[in-house]
Structure 1
Amino acid sequence: MKDWKKVKLGTLLTESKVLSEKPSTDKRLRVKLNVLGVEKRPVTKDKKGATKYYTRKAGQFVYGKQNLHKGAFGIVPDELDGFESSLDIPAFDIDKSCYPEWIFYFFKKGDFYLKLETLAKGVGSKRIHPKQIFELDIFLPSKEEQRKVLDEIEKTEASNQELVLEIESQEEYLTKLRQSILQDAVQGKLTKEWRVQNPTVEPASELLKKIKAEKEQLVKEKKIKKEKPLPKITKDEIPFGIPESWEWCRMGSTGNAMTSPFVDGPFGSSINTKRDYIESGVPVLRMMNVKPYRFKDDSMKYISEEKYQSFLRHNVIAGDILFSKVGAGIGEACIVPDTFTYGMLSTTGISRFRVGEIIVNEYLCHFINGHIALFKSLAKSSAQPFLNMTQIKSVLIPLPPLKEQKAIVQKVNQILANCDALEQEIKASKTNAEKLMQSVLSELLGEENNVLVNKPTTNKELKKPSREIKYNSKTLLMDLVKLLKENGKLHAEDLWKMSKFPNDIDAFYAELKKQIEEENAIKEVANEKGYLELA
């Protein structure tokens, strides 16, 4: 390795710009994130515009300008020879002195691609351009030496892949184990001995009778409205046998009679994501906050107390069950933790369920997560599958006596805690396997010690002497959206200086990218380079 010469990457790569004569949406390629390779892009309708597409050849190196630092790079495989991409996915012919795989592992070793984020530049959508990677140093031994190293890497990767497959099979087994535990729990198998030790516990049938009588009394006193009766349970519906002290009931009959047990988020555009979200205030819960068994409290959005008051029907408190009913997460449920004060649902994509006196919230949550496949099978098929409230309320639940529910929850939680510990061990094994592979790559390929320096964008690219400068100290350190509301369109440099990040341009660009690409709150002004306005 000491004798290997070091060259600029640009001496090995030549950007290919062979214009496609007959562009076809059926022959587009894309580069997957996390170094997962190049694949055919799903067929989509072309947007109207002047986008040009270029023919790509097998063996070319390609990368995504916006996502190179996220692992979007690879070698065009033989089966995608002749496919196309725009200049946002540039392709490069590789010099005869270098194997394509040598370029690929150059970016992969030591997760070097992650460090390239510092090179990304631009307003809003930051990109890494070919000229920037051309300046990177790369070791270039003889092709014979390259082949020896690549053969060694391939052997190590094959062994590593076997290890990864074994770890993934363990993950799959653990998922099935969790499902099996929850199935056993709601069939009474986990508390068989408990029932022998507690023969005098009041059966669930008596509890249902009391709740029914209480509801009828509340209706009579006009404290609650009379509900539409749920369908009667037939023998054909019952999926499995349950202990004698248990009863079958429908999910819709287990809620709190004094509140609305099932509530969806507000429909449509009742909450304006651009106008109503603020930096702090009343939490707004979204689908991304709901994960099986756990409430995910990061990426929280907020609205004002005044706005919240107009959505009180959709409120959420500690102890409520949140249930996903749209898209890939259908059937996933979690309990809002005790640390949560109050908030509201954001959309109809999640429902809130507030339990009554006949059921423990953790028992119901375990039942839901143990029957995700059931809820998915009930979902109506469309562009995005969904469940309606009638379907959810009609789902059958095996109802144990209240004391037994608590015993079940205690036992399930203990077993799931062991599963969680096992999951952490599996994740650690996976991380170690990845580190081992990276260590081998670094050892075999060497380290060029590239110094990644992005040229300043605040002078030539952002600063235009002839433009009107709107920067003023009265609006210093403000939210980007608020700045544009008060000042109208602004040049990127002014927006940066007036923002909360006057001394951190990377943080500014990160927030700007989020507002443009995720929140759709800000956009670039058409035909005015460098200027931004509200979307």
Structure 2
Amino acid sequence: MTNGTGIGSTEFHVFRSNGAIEPEYLWRFVRQQSFREKAKTVMSGAVGQQRVPADYLRDHVIPLPPLLEQRRIVSKVDALLARSALARKELDCIPTLIANYKQQVLALAAEGNLTSKWRVEHNAAQWARTSVAEIAETTFDGPFGSNLKSADYVKSGVRVVRLENIGRLHFVREKETYISKAKFTALARHQLKPEDVLFSSFIADEIRVCLFPDDLDTAAINKADCFCVRVDRQRCLPKFLAFRLASPTCYEVLKEAVHGATRPRISLKHLKQFEIDLPSLKEQAEIVRLLESAFGWLDRVAADHSAASKMLAKLDEAILAKAFRGELIPQDPNDEPASVLLSLIQLETKTEPSRRGQRSDGPVLETPTKVRDGVTRPRRVSKGQNVSKNRQDDDVFGKPYLASLIKKGRGKSTQELFKAANLPVPDFYKQLAWEIEQKYIRDHGEKLEAA
């Protein structure tokens, strides 16, 4: 809005304070998850077009503390939510840091730096240059085209490992696809064995490779573009090869062989030709041990991050809930009770039209009859007529207007001063707060005194 004025569509419910509630306080109240969940239960209308009825919002009971306490609550809530937002921002960086650290550790392992000290201590043999094909007992792709169609899938039977099952160094179990035992018999040459290295042919931003697990309930075959490398265990450990293929150095080499504009992939031939420096079996085992230890620690950090993120979401809701239970900040007995302000608003609605000018109806504010000791029945207070004077008038703006009225004996209490001030409720309270802050008025609770 460029001029401070806007309009809302019929999809909007508009709240406008009648002076008894700070808009910022009301805004934070409706942000509560509990408020939104309750609103969902009363939604009406056709599916996909359900709306919260205006009556529900109008009749909803809001705990109403004094205006000054409302402002303190808003300030405290904002400060706490800002801290949780900062914590959330910092936490959001952790998954990226974990992923980057894993890549760095894999690179160290592939380059031999992870076990350089170990090689010296054990007088280990030099690494030998070899290809994936040379250390494989067998390599194969899954069945293509008409050999395995969508129509062949059934609800249960023999598992089919698809691209979505190949995660980054983990097998994704949740996505289950099956073929019949008869179909499996025809495709038996594609059967997978425990600790087969499964490699996704699609390479975009990263390489996805994992080991086939040994605890599936059924036999399994791989689908097209899910490469299987069954290593010769006399030369290579399956876990070592999986870690090596997941390294950034492998990605940098294989991405050059990628073809296909919409589905970038490599061929099985490219994978078989990929060369690695192969250490001894003992050093491979040491590399696997170090990587599993590092990854285990990083996975625990990731789990802690996930738990902390969930707690932060709950913390924000707990802050709001505590705020509107009156438990977030200490209450000040010197604050004028909200009931006094409500009385002034009611008084304003009964003021003679000749004093107030043309009547302008406004929205209804629901308030509890008990403000501090719990909410009982709501009391409806309507916004009344406008008065002619406001805080921008020359005799009010920047001046001790209310203090001068007190000095003239026209207002010893808040109610008396309000009657004499000829200001709308919001302007009156803003002016009163300003004059107290500027020390033009001393607030003694039931009595006001001009300085």
TM-score, normalising length: structure 2 = 0.57
CA contact (8 A) 1:331 1:376 kept: no
Residues 105 and 141 of structure 1: CA distance in aligned 2, closer, same or farther (over 3 Å)? closer
Written as runs of structure 1 = structure 2, the 5 A alignment for 1:300-449 is 300-326=176-202, 330-340=206-216, 342-348=219-225, 350-357=226-233, 358-371=235-248, 373-374=251-252, 375-376=254-255, 378-380=257-259, 382-444=261-323
SS in structure 1 of the partner of residue 294 of structure 2: helix
SS in structure 2 of the partner of residue 430 of structure 1: helix
Hey, what's the Cα distance between the residues in 2 that align with 1:101 and 1:252?
Answer: 68
Amino acid at match of 1:163: A
CA contact (8 A) 1:315 1:343 kept: yes
Whether 2:117 is the aligned partner of 1:193: answer yes
Written as runs of structure 1 = structure 2, the 5 A alignment for 1:171-210 is 171-199=95-123, 203=125
Residues 381 and 299 of structure 1: CA distance in aligned 2, closer, same or farther (over 3 Å)? closer
Amino acid at match of 2:242: C
Hey, what's the Cα distance between the residues in 2 that align with 1:172 and 1:383?
Answer: 26
Q: Offset at 1:305? A: 0.7
Residues 335 and 107 of structure 1: CA distance in aligned 2, closer, same or farther (over 3 Å)? farther
Q: Offset at 1:319? A: 0.8
Amino acid at match of 2:321: S
Q: Offset at 1:361? A: 0.9
CA contact (8 A) 1:182 1:367 kept: yes
Whether 2:45 is the aligned partner of 1:167: answer no
Residues 267 and 132 of structure 1: CA distance in aligned 2, closer, same or farther (over 3 Å)? farther
Residues 423 and 121 of structure 1: CA distance in aligned 2, closer, same or farther (over 3 Å)? farther
Residues 322 and 136 of structure 1: CA distance in aligned 2, closer, same or farther (over 3 Å)? farther
CA contact (8 A) 1:333 1:369 kept: yes
CA contact (8 A) 1:318 1:337 kept: yes
CA contact (8 A) 2:43 2:50 kept: no
Q: Offset at 1:246? A: 0.5
Residues 188 and 328 of structure 1: CA distance in aligned 2, closer, same or farther (over 3 Å)? closer
Amino acid at match of 2:50: P
Tell me what 2:417 maps to: none
Residues 416 and 443 of structure 1: CA distance in aligned 2, closer, same or farther (over 3 Å)? same
Amino acid at match of 1:436: L
Hey, what's the Cα distance between the residues in 2 that align with 1:190 and 1:250?
Answer: 21
Whether 2:147 is the aligned partner of 1:267: answer no
Whether 2:17 is the aligned partner of 1:93: answer no
CA contact (8 A) 2:44 2:53 kept: no
Amino acid at match of 1:283: R
CA contact (8 A) 1:292 1:332 kept: yes
Work out the number of aligned pairs and report it.
Answer: 309
Hey, what's the Cα distance between the residues in 2 that align with 1:409 and 1:334?
Answer: 14
Percent identity between the two aligned chains: 22
SS in structure 2 of the partner of residue 291 of structure 1: coil
Residues 105 and 377 of structure 1: CA distance in aligned 2, closer, same or farther (over 3 Å)? farther
SS in structure 2 of the partner of residue 344 of structure 1: strand
Residues 271 and 103 of structure 1: CA distance in aligned 2, closer, same or farther (over 3 Å)? farther
| Structure 1 unmatched runs, 5+ | 1-57, 62-90, 204-244, 447-535
Tell me what 1:80 maps to: none
Residues 400 and 169 of structure 1: CA distance in aligned 2, closer, same or farther (over 3 Å)? same
Hey, what's the Cα distance between the residues in 2 that align with 1:332 and 1:94?
Answer: 49
Cα distance per residue 1:365-422 (max 9 Å; x no partner): 1112222742456533512322222332333312112221122112221222222222
| Structure 2 unmatched runs, 5+ | 1-5, 18-22, 326-451
CA contact (8 A) 1:330 1:386 kept: no
Cα distance per residue 1:192-225 (max 9 Å; x no partner): 23323332x5x4xxxxxxxxxxxxxxxxxxxxxx
Residues 353 and 134 of structure 1: CA distance in aligned 2, closer, same or farther (over 3 Å)? farther
CA contact (8 A) 1:106 1:445 kept: no
Hey, what's the Cα distance between the residues in 2 that align with 1:337 and 1:421?
Answer: 22
By relative contact order (CA 8 Å, sep 6+), the higher-ranking structure is 2
Whether 2:127 is the aligned partner of 1:246: answer yes
Tell me what 1:158 maps to: 82
> Which deviates more, 404-413 or 324-333?
324-333
CA contact (8 A) 1:283 1:302 kept: yes
Residues 420 and 288 of structure 1: CA distance in aligned 2, closer, same or farther (over 3 Å)? same
Hey, what's the Cα distance between the residues in 1 that align with 2:212 and 2:41?
Answer: 36
Q: Offset at 1:134? A: 6.5
What value does the CA root-mean-square deviation take over the aligned residues? 4.1
CA contact (8 A) 2:131 2:272 kept: yes
Residues 425 and 379 of structure 1: CA distance in aligned 2, closer, same or farther (over 3 Å)? same
SS in structure 1 of the partner of residue 154 of structure 2: coil
Hey, what's the Cα distance between the residues in 1 that align with 2:205 and 2:194?
Answer: 22
SS in structure 1 of the partner of residue 259 of structure 2: coil
Hey, what's the Cα distance between the residues in 1 that align with 2:187 and 2:35?
Answer: 46
Residues 312 and 437 of structure 1: CA distance in aligned 2, closer, same or farther (over 3 Å)? same
CA contact (8 A) 1:110 1:439 kept: no
Residues 439 and 384 of structure 1: CA distance in aligned 2, closer, same or farther (over 3 Å)? farther
CA contact (8 A) 2:114 2:287 kept: yes
Residues 387 and 107 of structure 1: CA distance in aligned 2, closer, same or farther (over 3 Å)? farther
Hey, what's the Cα distance between the residues in 2 that align with 1:381 and 1:147?
Answer: 60
Residues 279 and 149 of structure 1: CA distance in aligned 2, closer, same or farther (over 3 Å)? farther
Tell me what 2:353 maps to: none
Q: Offset at 1:435? A: 1.6
Whether 2:131 is the aligned partner of 1:255: answer no
CA contact (8 A) 1:284 1:346 kept: yes
Q: Offset at 1:135? A: 7.8
CA contact (8 A) 1:110 1:441 kept: no
Q: Offset at 1:97? A: 2.7
Residues 110 and 362 of structure 1: CA distance in aligned 2, closer, same or farther (over 3 Å)? farther
Residues 105 and 381 of structure 1: CA distance in aligned 2, closer, same or farther (over 3 Å)? farther
Residues 130 and 147 of structure 1: CA distance in aligned 2, closer, same or farther (over 3 Å)? farther
Written as runs of structure 1 = structure 2, the 5 A alignment for 1:504-519 is none
CA contact (8 A) 1:330 1:376 kept: no
Whether 2:209 is the aligned partner of 1:285: answer no
SS in structure 1 of the partner of residue 130 of structure 2: strand
TM-score, normalising length: structure 1 = 0.49
